[in-house]
């Protein structure tokens, strides 16, 4: 369940937790921190989480947001869970490529494709 002041939309679909961002810009450090904490709670609530993060509404994100994604990825991995990213704008995807993070994350064009990719 999303928190009252959440920057996220969260829903459960089968065994998958789907997270979408409300903000178009994920730049504000305080927001990024609270997003990280909220997703961490979702990860901690599951045994082996299947987490799907959609960037459908996102136009801009900062390197601080990338850092939070890495931290989330490591927490999911530590719990033997799976993380998928989807609906990333081509310009933001280029940021993943420049930083080589596209190799670290499982990135899919759509949430449907991402959902089907879970093992």
Partner 1 sequence: MSHAKPQPRYDVSVMLTGDRAQIDQVEGDIIARLEQFAYAKASRFAVKLSVEEAVANAFNHGHKNLPPGVPVRLEYAVAPDEVRIAVEDQGPGFVPADVPDPTMDENIEQPSGRGIMLIRAYMTRVAFSGSGNRIEMTYKKPAPKA
Q: Which of 60, 79, 93, 106 binds partner 1 (CB under 8 A)?
A: 60
> Residues 6 or more apart from 5 whose CB is under 8 A from it?
34
Q: Does 78 bind partner 1 (CB under 8 A)?
A: no
Scanning residues 26 to 45, which ones bind partner 1 (CB under 8 A)? Answer: 27-30
Dihedral angle computed from the Cα positions of residues 38, 20, 8 and 27, in that order, rounded to the nearest 10 degrees: 90
Binding part of the chain for partner 1, among 3-11, 55-63, 80-88, 107-115 by CB under 8 A, reads 55-63
Which residues lie near partner 1 (CB under 8 A)? 27-30, 60, 62-64, 66-68, 70-71, 74, 91, 95, 98-101, 103-104
């Amino acid at each position: 369940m999303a928190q009252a002041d959440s920057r996220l939309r969260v829903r459960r679909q089968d065994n998958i937790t789907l997270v979408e961002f409300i903000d178009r810009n994920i730049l504000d450090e305080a927001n990024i921190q609270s997003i990280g904490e909220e997703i961490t709670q979702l990860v901690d609530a599951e045994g082996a989480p299947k987490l799907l993060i959609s960037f459908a509404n996102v136009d801009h994100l900062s390197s601080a947001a990338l850092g939070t994604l890495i931290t989330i990825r490591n927490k999911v991995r530590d719990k033997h869970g799976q993380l998928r990213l989807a609906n990333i704008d081509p310009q933001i995807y280029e940021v993943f490529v420049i930083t080589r993070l596209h190799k670290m994350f499982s990135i899919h064009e759509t949430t449907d494709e991402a959902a089907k990719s879970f093992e």
